[in-house]
A and B are shown apart, each in its own frame.
Chain A
Amino acid sequence: MRKERDGISVEWVKLELLRTAYATRGGMLAARDPRFVIGWYLIFAVVPWFTHNITVLAALFTVCAAAVVLSRVGPLILGLFVIGFVVESLYVLFAAWFFGGDLTTVLALVELTLKLATISLASMAAFVSLDPEKLSDGLLSLHAPAMLSFGVSYGYRMLPVLMEEFHTVVDGHRLRAAPLTDKGFLGWRAVVRTATTLVQAFYPLMLNTAKRTRTTVEALETKGFTYAAEHPDGRRIRLAHLRADRWDHLLIIGTLLLVAASFALGQAYPLHGGVR
């Protein structure tokens, strides 16, 4: 018996992606100036690479985990991260044991895993909090090329359309392709079928998108997109609304204090691993 599910289903995945992309859940960072959010993210993207101290890394990891909770990251993204993190950790232990490593090897691998996990958590917290307009304005104000910042916002604009289109094409394959009579051992035929369908669905998706973009490109021309690239007035107006308040400054100061505290903690209770 089939049933309409609200839990894990294709519809749910689509909704979760939209909620994540459009920052519909709000949260601590969502109300902040995008430039400061990007700055906040950069701190955590860079700092972990300056230490081998596992205590420091664990503290940074905790700070980012707290930020993820405060930023209301959705279950889909968080779930994928946790699965990835757990699998990675198991792999580390297995690899260390298999290749006859000792505690040092494990610690070295744990260190790398922690660094990557910290950065992933920070990017989740930051990008879940930035809706398309904020992200593109933030990038523009940091002097990213106009094409990049527009591309980001246009990508977000097309995301729901493409997801819908992709789903339709996959449905078409489900209905019209040869039905599977036998799923094979452990359902391997079904897996192969799903994989080929996903790949085949890209052909119509790409062509349909290319057709759409022709109008878009002409419209951009009439809306002065190329004009704006040559004249700075538009950029100034677009960014005029970006104004940092004291909360934004507090965010960065607080973050830097927490990072400093992490390093102090690492000095006091060092748990070294890997290369000294």
Chain B
Amino acid sequence: MNYRNVLLGGVAALCLYGPAMAADTDVTIVLNEELETVEPCMSSQSNIGRVLLQNISETMTELNPEDGSLMPRLADSWEDRGNGTWRFHLHEGVTFSDGSTLDAADIKHSIERTLSPDLTCEIGAKYFGGMTITPTVVDDLTIDVTSDPAQPILPLLMSTMTIVPAETPMEFTRSPVGTGPYAMTAWNPGQNIILDRRDDYWGDQPAVTKATYLFRSDDAVRAAMVATGEADISPLINQIDATNADTDFAYPNSETTYLRLDSSIAPLDDIRVRQALNMAVDREAFLGTLVPEDAQIATHMTVPTTLGADQDLSVPAYDPEGAKALLEEAKADGVAVDTEILLLGRLGNFPNVTEVMEALHGMFTDAGFNVKLQMVEVAEWVKYYSKPYAAQPVPSMVQAMHDNNRGDPVFSMYFKYACEGLQSGICDPDLDKAIADATATAGDGRGPAWAKAFEIAHDLSADVFLFHMVGFSRVSERLDFIPSIATNSELQLSQIKFN
């Protein structure tokens, strides 16, 4: 054998070692971080949700992100039986990817597993805190779910509860089994996750036959991968990489940025000071500069499509002179307006967050406030943001970003505004009552009840609202898929078509 033959053989081997050709109906999705687990009860984490939710693991109900309505999924219908009990009627003939048939015992096990203290599932911690849920099997296709205290939105809560077979052990699984249209066929840690379409899926067959998930931390690399055809969708790219109108989409990502004011400490306990802070911010100046121009100025803790969001509410116009006048008035009444206020920002919370915080610092200073800016990592930030506060009590404005894409303010308002709320900076009896009333209200009265709570929080100038944010996705031109508000937490392969 001569050198030439060896060389040619080597080149041929290298070429053959290339990737197998993908089918026209396969897609590749590149996420911004690797999945640490594929446990269905952790699907409330964005990237786990993007892989598992409604692809592998389905829920009894499903939220329609466009109008906030609730749609059937594994449950065909549900009814309020009173006293906190809701009855769910399951779809007949649903099978898991392991071949077993879905019945009420699976639902019961899924609920108990998700809420088990032995697992500390994020879905349990995030959506079911402070309540006891008791599932009772009525028959194979009927289950009663009782909550204590009663939850008028229990069917909505069930849109977060991923269903697994009753045989799933009480530990995190590495082989998720679900009723969804796809099954996980490979998980190569550090490299990829592969889902294949199930031929025996109970619902309509989706167009995508196979999905490969890749993981790249670098924003520019993810954008480049779609540009070169290595990937078809990058759900999250940086604003500065979103340069191609044919492939790059801005979408409301259900995140609201704001400054949480600690109104228990002077001078923030004075409403004039809080109003002045709101007047000192030139929100318009941020749009199209440090914040994407598609972002919306926020007037609520939740996005405008949330139940009860009042379109008539507004934030004060930029008026630094008016802010100064309010501060003078407060000072004349003995309020210590010269006290240093800590402006705490969270590093990496959203693109340009440091620059936004520096600009805010400048605006507050111009309006006469004594503000000290500090940018910190999440571990330090949480000491100021979430109770019990580990940090020393100081007058503070904590920059935060809140995500509520579940359509109901209950996932926001108690935590952010009730006296006992973990991240609440305010304590007001009227607001507490309004939140409690809205939480307990069912039916048509729920929207107005929440509107009232929003209005009270607004009138108290409880926070400095900034923006309802947008995310940017890059989608290959070969796909017919437009990212929506849901893309922040899930990416249903069945919604992807091909051009």
- The answer to whether A and B interact is no
Residues on A lying within 8 angstroms of B by beta carbon are: none
Residues on B lying within 8 angstroms of A by beta carbon are: none
